[in-house]
Amino acid sequence: MKKRGIGYASTFYGTGYGNGFPDISRAIAELGKDGNVYIYVGATEVGQGAKTILSQIAAEALGIDFSKITFICEDTSITPDAGTAAASRQTYNTGNAIKLAAEELKREIMNVASEELNVNTTNIQEYLKKIADIKGDKVIRKDGIFTASTTEMDVETGQGNPYYPYTFSVYGVEVEVDTSTGIVEVLRAACGQDVGRAINPKLIEGQIDGGFSMGLGYAIMEDLNVENGKIKHDRFTSYLIPTALDMPDIDKIIVEDPESTGPYGAKGIGEPVLIAVAPAILNAIYNAVGVRMTEVPVTPEKLLKALREKERGA
């Protein structure tokens, strides 16, 4: 017999290192001899779209086309430290550092345009190459540094400001449970994700898809099967991960409530889009068959055992 159920889960997540740990990002903005703007930053691209998002922030701060930005990262010999690609911090932290550096660079370019070209304008794009030619080997280069607000929790009072900012999300899923086989299929899902300000909505949707896929695997598939300290499922023939065929349609709801301290109001959402997926799926399983699963992944064997125990209890 197949039974359907609906489940929900919500989460709040503090981005950044937190609890008073120094959370600093640095960036450099430079006008190149070719008239393009070069952004040097140690932010690592691991598929989250950092290069695109951070380049967009730089272009916005300078008021120039995205195509005029050359983004240089992951080379420690020429880029300043921007911290790790972790804790969902790059968009907020490094985005702020880039914004500061780009704004300083724009002010300097405007000063040169006024003094050397007798031009007073905030639209600097058409003058970039002329100013680069005027400066020659005297590179216009500006630094930006941003430190996130975080204080260590007081162990006596429990008070403090461990993270800043926080982001919020909620998932709803519908599952179908086959009570004869124990197989759980996720039929559809919806995600409401607070992003502060959506700098690149398509990349946000991609993050939600990726986060849901990881949460789906965590909830019902990915089983290391450790016995006596030995991993039994040590290859992909036995360690199952979701494929495109396992993914449901996801209604992605981007919630924009600009964060006043973020770059153009943006927050990071790398990890938040994952956290609530498994709880929502487990709640949906409970809604479908009345069994509260407390261990993941919910494999068919575990679910069938729980269903038999429920029947014996009844």
Q: Give 53-109 pLDDT, tens digit per residue.
A: 999 999 999 999 999 999 999 899 999 999 999 999 999 999 999 999 999 999 999
Supply the pLDDT for residue 194: 98
Supply the pLDDT for residue 217: 98
Q: Is the pLDDT of residue 293 over 70?
A: yes
CA distance 116 to 94: 32
CA distance 208 to 231: 30
Which residues are catalytic, by number?
A: 271
Question: Comparing C-alpha atoms, which of 194, 169, 161 is closest to residue 262?
Answer: 194
Question: Comparing C-alpha atoms, which of 230, 227, 80 is closest to residue 142?
Answer: 80
Render pLDDT for 126-170 as a digit per residue (tens, 0 to 9): 999 999 999 999 999 999 999 999 999 999 998 988 998 999 999
**H or E element in which residue 29 lies:** strand 24-31
Domain ranges of the chain: 2-14+163-313, 24-147
Supply the pLDDT for residue 53: 97
CA distance 41 to 72: 6
* Predicted structure pTM score: 0.93
CA distance 100 to 29: 9
CATH (residue range 2-14+163-313): 3.30.365.10
Q: Is the pLDDT of residue 308 over 70?
A: yes
Checking DSSP bridges between strand 249-256 and strand 37-41, what pairing results, if any? unpaired
- Percentage of residues of the chain with pLDDT beyond 90: 95
Supply the pLDDT for residue 74: 85
Q: Do the two domains 2-14+163-313 and 24-147 of this chain adopt the same fold?
A: yes
Render pLDDT for 221-277 as a digit per residue (tens, 0 to 9): 999 999 999 999 999 999 999 999 999 999 999 999 999 999 999 999 999 999 999
| Partner residues linked to 227 by β-bridges | 230
Which of the listed CATH numbers 3.30.70.150, 3.30.365.10, 3.30.360.10, 3.40.47.10 matches domain 24-147?
3.30.365.10
Supply the pLDDT for residue 219: 98
* C-beta atoms surrounding 59 within 10 Å: 19
CA distance 205 to 253: 9
Band (313; pLDDT cuts 50, 70, 90)? confident
**H or E element in which residue 8 lies:** strand 2-14
Render pLDDT for 170-209 as a digit per residue (tens, 0 to 9): 999 999 999 999 999 999 999 999 999 999 999 999 999 9
Supply the pLDDT for residue 314: 65
* C-beta atoms surrounding 255 within 10 Å: 15
